[in-house]
Each structure stands twice: as C-alpha cells, then as structure tokens.
Amino acid sequence: RITSEDDKLAFPGPCDIEVREASSLTQQEFLSSYAFEKPIVIKGATDNTVFQAQCHKDAMMRDHASKHIRLSSANTHSYDKADVTLEYYVNHVMKPQALTTLGNETFYWFGDNNFTEWKSLIDLYKPPPYFLPKMTGAYSFGLAGAGTGVPFHFHGPGFGEVVYGRKRWFMYPPHKTPHFHPNRTTLQWLHE
C-alpha cells in the first residue's frame, strides 16, 4: 500500500553522494575510486522488475504468508528477536513508526533470513555487477512500516537497495560518530 500523507513523518533530504550510471562505471573504476574510498549511488545497475513484482504486498501475501520470519528490535544492537509468520507481521506488527515509540519497543523484519525457506524469492534477485575481490556477498531482505529505521550502526562494504518505498540513509565518515541513544529511533533522532 502507499503510505498515507498522515503517516509520513520524514521526508527526503539533501544528498551529497555522487550518483553514477552503471553503464559508465566499470568494475575497475568502482574498485579504485569508490569501493574502499567513498559511498556512491549507482543507477541502472540491474533490472529487478521480476523480483520487484514478487515483492509486491499482494504477491508476498499470496505466496509467502505462512512462512516464518525473524523480527529484530529496532535499537542499535538489535537485542530482542521474535519469530512470527509473514501474515502475522504484516497484519499485526508492521505499521508506521510513532515518534514516542522507542527502538527497543519497535520490531521489524530486516535480515536474519532463512534462505532455504525464502529461496524461491531470493533467487529472483539480480545483484549489482560490482564486487570486492576475495569477498562473498550475503543478502539481507526485509519489510518495514513508514518511518521505521535502526538507529546508527556500523557496516562494512555493502550495497543497499530499496525495492518498494523509500529509505533515507544518514552516513558519517568512519572517524566521526554521531550523538545518539541506542534505544532511540532514527526518526526520533531526526526530529530532535
């Protein structure tokens, strides 16, 4: 479903990350200029229209409603976990983030995927054509309500892709740490 205007609590902000078309970005340039140096937005890297169609809410509920997923609390360290069916999550848990709800009280599906159970869907995904030598990719798939998001945390190299909706990333250089409380949501941090 499309997020209603009343549920929108965050809006797009400025983006100072370089944007490149995949058609003009070689693997060598990716490695020498971006992979270990700075973030980049790559457009047109793959055609995932089949995967996207299968990720539509109607298709997910039709084909995967009874499958189990692992929810994680939306605080920095994702301490708590809960196992539910996709149907239960969509109908009872997944909702727009309230400004007053803390991260440790918010659960959503991000990662902890059972790739055996979800193989039929994940196999449809076409990853970007770029890679890091001697490293193997690992997928993380999830669904979340409007305004949700994990507080600041750290990642090594990776690609992030939004299949439906919108996600807003806040990036800091490795040597700087933003001031945040691990149980406050990113939405709370944004509004403070």
Quick one: three-class SS letters along 9-25?
Answer: CCCCCCCCCCEEEHHHC
Asked if the model's pLDDT at residue 5 lies above 70, the reply is: no
CA distance 52 to 56: 7
96: Cβ–Cβ under 8 A, 6 or more apart, which residues? Answer: 3, 7, 9, 145, 146, 147, 148
Segment 113-122, tens digit of pLDDT = 899 999 999 9
Per-domain boundaries in the chain: 5-191
Asked if the model's pLDDT at residue 1 lies above 60, the reply is: no
Segment 49-75, tens digit of pLDDT = 999 999 999 999 999 999 999 998 888
Q: How confident is the model at residue 76 (pLDDT cuts 50, 70, 90)?
A: confident
Q: How confident is the model at residue 171 (pLDDT cuts 50, 70, 90)?
A: confident
Asked if the model's pLDDT at residue 4 lies above 70, the reply is: no
What's residue 78's pLDDT?
65
* Element holding 70 (H helix, E strand): strand 68-73
Query: What pTM did the predictor assign?
Result: 0.85
Averaged over 37-46, what is the pLDDT?
94
What's residue 140's pLDDT?
87
The share of the chain scoring above pLDDT 90, in percent, equals 45
Asked if the model's pLDDT at residue 165 lies above 90, the reply is: no
Which has the higher per-residue pLDDT, 11 or 177? 177
Q: Which residue has the tokens 């945390």?
A: 153
Q: What CATH fold (topology level) applies to the domain 5-191?
A: Jelly Rolls (2.60.120)
